[in-house]
Amino acid sequence: MVRRDGTSKNGDVTMQPVSVTLQGVTTAELASVRSQVAEAAIRAGLSPDQATRLSYAVNEVVTNAIQFGDGTAGVSIIADQARIIVEVRDIGGGALPDIAAEPPPPDQVRGRGLWLARELCDEVTFQSGCTGNVVRLSASA
């Protein structure tokens, strides 16, 4: 039996699923997005280090969506007791680039965001279409 405070009859904490959708995210909301992702990740059972890594990855992908889309991004956070998925959507017209297996050279100014996201998450998938792009990042406890 789960009580309203999120604990079970024997006192163990039982996390409730988290689902948040944010529309029209701009650079001004990046700190809030990072915070919400980290909080949802902790609630899903990820360690503080995993939560921080995921929030950094999401920051990179949202920044790309804002820069290369229409100036805003959509972000959905779905978490349960063992896993968190974050989807980032843009209304950009271009396809997502291939992600190199190695980091970009030090003298290259751009191109680290998606590579870094892939390094920091358990899984990163991409979908591109005529209405925009979706990047899905996931991490498990």
Ordered by where they begin, the domains of the chain are 18-140 (3.30.565.10)
The CA-based diameter of the chain, rounded to the nearest angstrom, is 57
Where is pLDDT greater, at 91 or 96? Answer: 91
DSSP-H helix ranges across 22-137: 30-43, 48-68, 113-120
Q: What is the pLDDT of residue 105?
A: 82
pLDDT, tens digit (0-9, with 9 covering 90-100), for 35-57: 999 999 998 999 999 999 999 99
Where is pLDDT greater, at 110 or 73? Answer: 73
> Per-residue confidence at 130, pLDDT binned at 50, 70, 90?
confident
| CA–CA dist 50, 37 (Å, integer) | 11
For residue 132, give every residue at least 6 positions away whose Cβ sits within 8 Å of its Cβ, in sequence order, or none: 69, 89, 90, 91, 92, 93
Q: What is the pLDDT of residue 96?
A: 67
